[in-house]
């Protein structure tokens, strides 16, 4: 396939995908979403910890007493401080189930991130190969215009000496106009592909090296590929973790129907309640057992609702499995088809070039018309365009199959980038019980 510049200093497909892995805004947004989901575990774990609060107050009080002998006025400055602590001892296992639910949400978010990486890398491959294809097609179209321009000069010279008619000149001019139109369309397509490349990769495409299909990652058989995808695909894993989240949600809501036991301790001191020398201190420890008897049927309705949502999520897993199976089978068929298309396109170009050479020789001795030569030239140009497109499709198809299998990742491709480890942030915030700063310093 034709490259933009000399491959010596060219950007490789692996290098471009490395840029996309580090800079793509969609992928970075999904990573931020995962980090936000990590905090749900810390929030759920707070249910095991006590709640501590303090208060202080100060005010002014004046008591005025009017008696037959006169009026008595007393001014006070009542003030006090208090500290209370509350610890949940048991709440129907809601805290335990909430922690498990939050962890399942994190696992689902990690698989969603893997799936996003899968799609972003495939989009990067597609953008890269589209630029390669459109650059090569533009080269073919421009080369065709140059050939037609030379051919038009020759036809005009022959017309001037009476060897051909005005019709031959008009046919060549028409073919040249069509070739220029095709070149303009190819240039517009290349500009659009360059813009998409900038969006997907994060930098402008300047010098791109040819890429090869990923045949080494293609499964030995379609059945093996389908079985692997159903076992490993991140979209399926995310949906299965979603089932866990929904199932635990049922348990969390059911826990609201169980009794809860709470221990509360408090200590306080007050001054100047009735005089400047009066102080009062108090301390208390109270255990509270709360038993829900009837809450209007709301909790029962929410449990039923959660069970229906659980059933919906289980159905969603089957839907995702069917989608993955279809994607693998379609991608497998595309890979097989593109192999034949490349071979056919190569044979087409070779035959068309031989035919063009023969038609030109026959035209010199009057056995072929100018239109025959123009048609043969157009067949060669179209064949080269078809070959370029087939080569592009061949490369993209293998990456699309790897994506359908759920294996298109920085690790699989051995990209030379710093890989994002989702556990790093999770370990930093899971047991963090105080502080406003994120691990990133925000």
Which residues, listed in sequence order, are joined to residue 75 by a DSSP beta bridge? 62
Q: Which two tokens stand for residue 420?
A: 């994002």
Minimal CA–CA distance to 388: which of 217, 189, 216? 189
pLDDT of residue 115: 96
Q: Which of 76, 107, 86 is nearest to 240 (CA)?
A: 107
Apex 220 CA angle, 215 and 226, nearest 5: 105
pLDDT at 275: 60
User: What are the structure tokens assigned to 36, written together?
Assistant: 């936000």
Q: What interhelical angle do 25-45 and 422-429 show, nearest 10? A: 30
Question: What average pLDDT is seen over the chain?
Answer: 91
pLDDT tens per residue, range 234-271:
999 999 999 999 999 999 999 999 999 999 999 999 88
Per-residue pLDDT, averaged over 80-87, amounts to 96
For residue 150, the model assigns a pLDDT of 87
* pLDDT range class, residue 306, cuts 50, 70, 90: very high
pLDDT computed for residue 442 by the predictor: 61
C-alpha 273, offset from chain centre: 64
Residue ranges covered by each domain of the chain: 7-49+96-256+311-414
Per-residue pLDDT tens for 188-198?
Answer: 999 999 999 99
Ranking 47-56, 158-167, 295-304, 416-425 by mean pLDDT, the lowest is 158-167
State the average pLDDT over residues 101-121.
96
Give the whole-angstrom CA distance, residue 393 versus residue 1: 12
Q: What is the pLDDT of residue 437?
A: 82
- Domain made up of 7-49+96-256+311-414: CATH architecture: Up-down Bundle (1.20)
Average pLDDT over residues 26-47: 95
Mean pLDDT along residues 359-367:
83
Report the C-alpha gap between 104 and 246 in whole angstroms: 10
Tokens of 81: 């401080």
- SS3 of the chain: CCCCCCHHHCECHHHHHHHHHHHCHHHHHHHHHHHHHHHHHHHHHHHHCCEEEEEEEECCEEEEEEECCEEEEEEECCEEEEEEEEEEEECCCHHHHHHHHHHHHHHHHHHHHHHHHHHHHHHHHHHHHHHHHHHHHHHHHHHHHHHHHHHHHHHHHHHHCCCCCHHHHHHHHHHHHHHHHHHHHHHHHHHHHHHHHHHHHCCCCCCECCCCCCHHHCCCCHHHHHHHHHHHCHHHHHHHHHHHHHHHHHHHHHHHHCCEEEEEEEEEEEECCCCCCCEEEEEEEEEEEECCCCCCCHHHHHHHHHHHHHHHHHHHHHHHHHHHHHHHHHHHHHHHHHHHHHHHHHHHHHHHHHHHHHHHHHHHCCCCCHHHHHHHHHHHHHHHHHHHHHHHHHHHHHHHHHHHCCCCCHHHHCCCCCCCCHHHHHHHHCCCCCCCCCCCCC
Q: What is the distance between the alpha carbons of residues 138 and 385, in angstroms, rounded to a whole number?
A: 9
pTM value?
0.87
414-433, pLDDT tens digit by residue? 999 999 999 999 999 999 88
């Amino acid at each position: 396939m034709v490259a933009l510049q000399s491959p010596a200093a060219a950007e490789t497909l692996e290098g471009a995908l490395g840029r996309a892995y580090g800079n793509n805004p969609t992928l970075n947004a999904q990573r931020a979403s995962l980090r936000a989901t990590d905090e749900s575990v810390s929030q759920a774990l707070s249910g095991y910890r006590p709640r501590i609060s303090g208060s202080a107050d100060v005010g002014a009080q004046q008591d005025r007493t009017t008696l037959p002998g006169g009026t008595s006025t007393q001014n006070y400055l009542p003030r006090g401080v208090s500290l209370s602590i509350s610890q949940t001892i048991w709440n129907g296992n809601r805290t335990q189930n909430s922690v498990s639910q939050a962890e399942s949400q994190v696992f689902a978010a990690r698989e969603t991130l893997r799936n996003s990486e899968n799609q972003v890398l495939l989009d990067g491959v597609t953008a890269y190969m589209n630029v390669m294809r459109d650059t090569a097609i533009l080269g073919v179209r421009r080369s065709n215009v140059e050939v037609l321009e030379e051919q038009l000069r020759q036809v005009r010279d022959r017309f001037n000496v009476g060897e051909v008619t005005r019709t031959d000149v008009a046919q060549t001019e028409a073919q040249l106009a069509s070739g220029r139109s095709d070149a303009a369309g190819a240039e517009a397509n290349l500009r659009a592909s360059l813009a998409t490349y900038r969006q997907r990769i994060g930098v402008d495409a300047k010098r791109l090296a040819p890429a090869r299909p990923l045949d080494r990652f293609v499964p030995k058989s379609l059945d093996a590929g389908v079985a692997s995808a159903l076992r490993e695909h991140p979209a399926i894993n995310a949906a299965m973790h979603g089932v866990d989240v929904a199932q635990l949600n049922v348990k969390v809501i059911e826990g609201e129907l169980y009794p809860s036991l709470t221990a509360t301790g408090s200590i306080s001191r007050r001054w100047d309640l009735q005089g400047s020398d009066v102080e009062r201190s108090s301390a208390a420890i109270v255990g509270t057992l709360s038993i829900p008897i009837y809450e209007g049927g709301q909790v029962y309705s929410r449990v039923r609702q959660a069970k229906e949502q659980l059933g919906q999520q289980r159905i969603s897993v089957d839907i995702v499995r069917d989608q993955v199976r279809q994607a693998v089978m379609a991608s497998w068929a595309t890979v097989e088809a593109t192999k034949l298309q490349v071979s056919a396109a190569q044979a087409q170009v070779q035959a068309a070039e031989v035919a063009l050479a023969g038609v030109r020789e026959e035209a010199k001795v009057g056995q072929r018309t100018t239109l025959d030569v123009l048609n043969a030239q157009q067949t060669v140009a179209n064949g080269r365009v078809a070959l370029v497109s087939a080569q592009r499709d061949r490369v993209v198809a293998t990456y699309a199959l790897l994506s359908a299998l759920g294996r298109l990742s920085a690790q699989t491709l051995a990209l030379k980038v710093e890989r994002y480890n989702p556990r790093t942030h999770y370990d930093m915030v899971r047991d963090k019980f105080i502080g406003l700063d994120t691990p990133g310093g925000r």
